[in-house]
Structure 1
Amino acid sequence: MFTFMKNWLKKGSGSEGLAADREITEESVLPADQAQLAQVREAEPSAEPTDFPQQQTAQEQMAAAATEAAEPAEEQSGGEQTAGEQAAGGPAVETAVETPLSLHPEWEQQLDSSQKYALMFMASELPPMASDSISLAGIRIYPHEQGVEVTAFIRNGSSRPIRLNQMNLLLLFDENRLFARQRFDLSAVGEIPPRHARPWSFLFLRENFLITDVLLSRWKLAFELAEKKLVLPQQLELEESWIKALSDEQKQSLIELARRLPPLRQGEVNLQPVQLSRGADGSLRALLLFRNGSTRSLSFEKLPLVLLDAQGEKAAEGLFELAGGLTVRKETSKPWLFIFPRQNLCKEAPDFSRWKVIIPGKA
């Protein structure tokens, strides 16, 4: 018998106990077509944001890359509107659907009739959902010896059965603040019938907690790809474009950095190195974190930067024109990727065992 089944059976006995313990939270909704592709997109090793500043003769090359990266996003947006059209062969019709209970065979065997009735009642209380989407509706959260366990309904609003694979899930609280992020193998959930809701439990291990000693008020279980904004520790903000564009490794690097960063001091403004990699064209790609501890927002349209290696010697430099501008709100931090083209490299064999990026004249 699965661990989550043991915990479920321990937590409630009979329909009264389960029904009284319920707490349906805000749902995390993802278009069904994106959910099926979520694990494929995350597995791509080259998935990096490319709609970032370019300069000099690299402009055409980087603009082409940005256009290429933007096209899938447009296709995803279109997918939300035409998913019904693809499934039914006709124009998409946005309808709200109900999702009655569907139990995993193991749950079906282990739950008694009163427990099944309680779950059936809870599923019936879920609000109608958009067709051709899937969602997570949290039921309850409780401590576990290894971390925190969350029980939720996985809802299938599409007209066809779905089977999920590996996906990143988030445990959020208090206006999209990130408490934990963990990858789950959702194939164990099995096949969810069309327009049904299946209860499942998720164990977030303590090692994946970003912060401790907080009250998990207004909590939410979410698909990572469905979120419009995330707030990491030390007020590090990730917007939707970054959530979708950053590779899994880059997201984890930001999370690890946010864990160990000291709190922003009043008036503190600095650049924090996150990750440095070399592109296939010989360019250097520096992921930086802008930390703004001042009482006003900072905006940049052009930014001169110098990349220094472990010896403090100049490895690359450039003047970056920031298309659309870069704004870092007061008392927050924001990541940005800067690409130093090959022709802007200044040193033959730099040592990047340590590195940093400075603004000339403000080192």
Structure 2
Amino acid sequence: MTNSPKTYKTEIDFSTDWEIPAQEKYIFQYFHQQLADLEANQLHVHGVKLYTVNDGIVVTAIIRHSLPKKLRLEQVVLVVKDKEGKELAKKQFDMELFGELEACTARPWNFLFERDDLLVPYEEIQNEMDFEMAFEYYEKVVKDFELYLDENWSNGLTEDQKGYVHNLVASLEPIKENEISVVGFHFHETEEAVNVYIIIRNAFAQSLTIENLPIQLFDATGDLVCKLGFPIGEFEIASKQARPLSLSFSKEVFMKVSPDFSAWKIEMIPQTL
């Protein structure tokens, strides 16, 4: 028989920066009393009411935590969902005015989601409808990368090809801070090998020098065709920089006979860098 985890009842606390009438405080206290206790070290948001306004929607919620110490939130991303789990709105909020919470406390707060923050047409959201709220936890990402073409690439590409690569880099999805991303963008097959052009992006805060680049090649069915470590010398890539590179996979080392290259994908194995 296992013991149930210990739970904690939070105490409601009202911000001194929000003048709440006594009657509304009783309403918040009532909602707070209905909430289930938290397990240790949890952060929770509970939606109380949703109002439609001309600018969007205002959501009143209670944020509570069960940490054994004071908590000060800097920024949070909140998601509003309907009862079926469909996301209605999402926004990042600066929580400076929210203030500091004592250990194991809860505090009500109002959040304005403007029309640009809505994920569905405004008409789909009903005043005082049933809804749910959740935090969205995220990591910082890097989205703006500068394309660097060394002399060989600069001389080997036409102006149209350079423009294509520039546009490609600008269109790629952001990547998390302190990651390296490898994306394939051109594929050419010969009798002896498969040649692939890739873009390497560096989202670290400092320059990196890559000596060996381990890459996996997959075909249209998702099968692993080849896995190779490419010795690329002292390949330096600056912070927030994108650099192209060409790789050749010899068919002699293919792990699959007759792969389907109607579609293809490459992945890097970062732990072996």
Q: How many residues align?
A: 180
Q: Distance in 1 between matches of 2:35 and 2:174?
A: 48
> Greater CA radius of gyration, 1 or 2?
2
1:169 aligned to 2:81? no
1:214 aligned to 2:124? yes
User: For residues 125-184 of structure 1, what are the alpha-carbon distances to aligned partners after superposition, in whole Å with 9 as ceiling and x for unaligned?
Assistant: 221111211100110101022111101000021111100001222122244322222110
TM-aligned CA deviation for residue 307 of structure 1:
6.3
User: For residues 299-337 of structure 1, what are the alpha-carbon distances to aligned partners after superposition, in whole Å with 9 as ceiling and x for unaligned?
Assistant: xxxxxx8469xxxxx972783379x98xxxxxxxxxxxx
Q: Distance in 2 between matches of 1:141 and 1:277?
A: 33
> What residue is the counterpart of 1:47 in the other structure?
none
Q: TM-score, normalised by structure 1?
A: 0.41
User: For residues 288-308 of structure 1, what are the alpha-carbon distances to aligned partners after superposition, in whole Å with 9 as ceiling and x for unaligned?
Assistant: xxxxxxxxxxxxxxxxx8469
Aligned pairs for 1:267-306 within 5 A: 275-276=171-172, 284-285=182-183, 306=186
Give, as a single letter, the amino acid of the residue that structure 2 aligns with 1:105.
T
> What residue is the counterpart of 1:224 in the other structure?
136
Q: Distance in 1 between matches of 2:96 and 2:186?
A: 47
One of 67, 71, 75 as aligned partner of 1:158: 67
> What residue is the counterpart of 2:110 in the other structure?
201
Q: Distance in 2 between matches of 1:306 and 1:175?
A: 42
> What residue is the counterpart of 2:197 in the other structure?
316
Give, as a single letter, the amino acid of the residue that structure 1 aligns with 2:15.
H
Aligned partners of 2:88 and 2:118 also within 8 Å: yes
Q: Distance in 1 between matches of 2:143 and 2:9?
A: 37
Task: Give the secondary structure class of the aligned counterpart of 2:101.
Answer: coil
One of 237, 240, 245 as aligned partner of 1:342: 245
RMSD over equivalenced CA pairs, Å: 4.3
Q: Distance in 1 between matches of 2:181 and 2:187?
A: 12
Q: Quick check: which one's strand share is greater? A: 2
> What residue is the counterpart of 2:15 in the other structure?
104
Q: Distance in 2 between matches of 1:205 and 1:215?
A: 13
TM-aligned CA deviation for residue 274 of structure 1:
9.6
Q: Distance in 1 between matches of 2:72 and 2:179?
A: 39
Q: TM-score, normalised by structure 2?
A: 0.53
Give, as a single letter, the amino acid of the residue that structure 2 aligns with 1:166.
Q
Task: Give the secondary structure class of the aligned counterpart of 2:102.
Answer: coil
Residue segments in structure 1 that go unaligned for 5+ positions in a row: 1-92, 226-243, 251-272, 287-304, 309-313, 326-339, 346-358
Residue segments in structure 2 that go unaligned for 5+ positions in a row: 145-168, 189-194, 199-215, 224-242, 249-259, 265-273
One of 124, 128, 139 as aligned partner of 2:37: 128
Aligned pairs for 1:17-166 within 5 A: 94-107=5-18, 110-166=19-75
